[in-house]
Amino acid sequence: MVLGCPHLHRLSALCCERWLRGWVTETVDDTALVGEYTSIALDSSNKVHISYHGWSTDYTTSYLKYANNTSGYWVTQTVNSGGNVGKYSSIALDSSDNVHISYYDEANGSLKYAYGIASDLSVSPSVHDFGDVVAGDSSTPLEVTLSNTGTQPCHITQIALSDMTNFSLDINECASPSIGFGSSCTITVTFSPQSTGAKNTSLTINSDDLDTPVINVTLSGKGVAAAGGGGGGCFIATAAYGSYMESHVKVLRDFRDHFLLTNPVGKAFVDLYYTYSPPVADFIANNDTVRLMVRWSLMPVVGMSWITLQLGMWITLALIGFLICFMGAGATIALRRIRLRSQV
């Protein structure tokens, strides 16, 4: 059916027409055999709500259907279905934009009424402090739950963190643009401080919820230096590679935990590193050119650390000794040949 036309006909698509320097048509529902007995209403934000009738393709079941464009695109749902329901619908919205529809149930010869509460989005928790986390390490992931307690779908338009350097975001099932009525989804946030000091961020959730279209979750935490016992982060490597979870950084952390923190000399080196490296790491993290240079300079260190983890310290030292001897012998032979040629 084409709304606004002087003659109404059932079409395979229900269209809504609006006056804007001429007629503009939009497809609301492109399923077969829909569009009879329409009624239209506008909410407080001038979004369009439509009730209408539809049939199954075999004409055995009819539907009362409802559509709205509150999210910026058309979303449809079936309000009621049966032998022959949904004719002569009339729709209205109250002061809270809740939807009210009256319609005819021909099979039972009765007038029916449907009531739908607008989407109502809530979040839990709304505030969270991750506490102290060793810089370069990661907190226990926090699950933020979004719940729609209304009877209309809620459409998420954006989920974002204001600080993506020290906090990471996994949208999980909330990546779907719509949270069904009576449904919920979870977002996971992890605190991974790249340097010491207090860190704060805001998790912002934008939706078409009429009461709270923007929800902010306040998150905070503090990056701290590691105690002498270990477990800390590789500040410079983390700054260079961009994440403590990066594979090269993990190799260096594993080398530290297995070989440096297992002896007094290694522990002293780690303590010294944690004392003086955070300012250097902050400088590296804020300069892309320096980050690239540091990544290249760390490659030999990462390589030797990986070999050590695979073969063990003594085999690696023996291998290094063999390579030094081999290179020394090669250099000696090369020098002798050069001298012999010069004497000829």
Per-residue pLDDT tens digits for 255-301:
777 777 777 887 787 777 777 777 787 777 777 888 788 888 888 88
Whether residue 29 lies inside any domain: the answer is yes
Do 51 and 32 lie in a common domain?
yes
pTM: predicted TM-score of the whole model, two decimal places? 0.44
The per-residue pLDDT for range 99-146, each reduced to its tens digit, is 899 999 988 889 999 987 667 888 999 999 998 888 878 888 899 999
Q: How far apart are CA 136 and CA 142, in angstroms?
A: 18
Geometric angle at alpha carbon 231, from 238 and 310, rounded to 5°? 75
In a domain, 26, yes or no: yes
The span from the CA of 50 to the CA of 101, in Å, is 10
Residue 236 in this model has a pLDDT that exceeds 80: no
Q: Pick from 176, 193, 224: which residue ends a domain? A: 224
Look at residue 43 and tell me whether its pLDDT is greater than 80.
Answer: yes
Residue 341 lies in a domain: no
Domain with 190, as residue range(s), is 121-224
- Pair (299, 247) in one structural domain: yes
For residues 171-193, average pLDDT: 83
Looking at per-residue confidence, does 3 or 165 come out higher?
A: 165
Q: Is 108 helix (H, G, I), strand (E, B) or coil?
A: coil
**157 and 212 belong to one structural domain:** yes
Measured CA to CA, the distance from residue 203 to residue 126 in angstroms comes to 9
Query: Looking at the domain assignment, is residue 81 inside a domain?
Result: yes
* Domain end point (choices 224, 258, 275): 224
Residues 96 and 126 in one domain: no
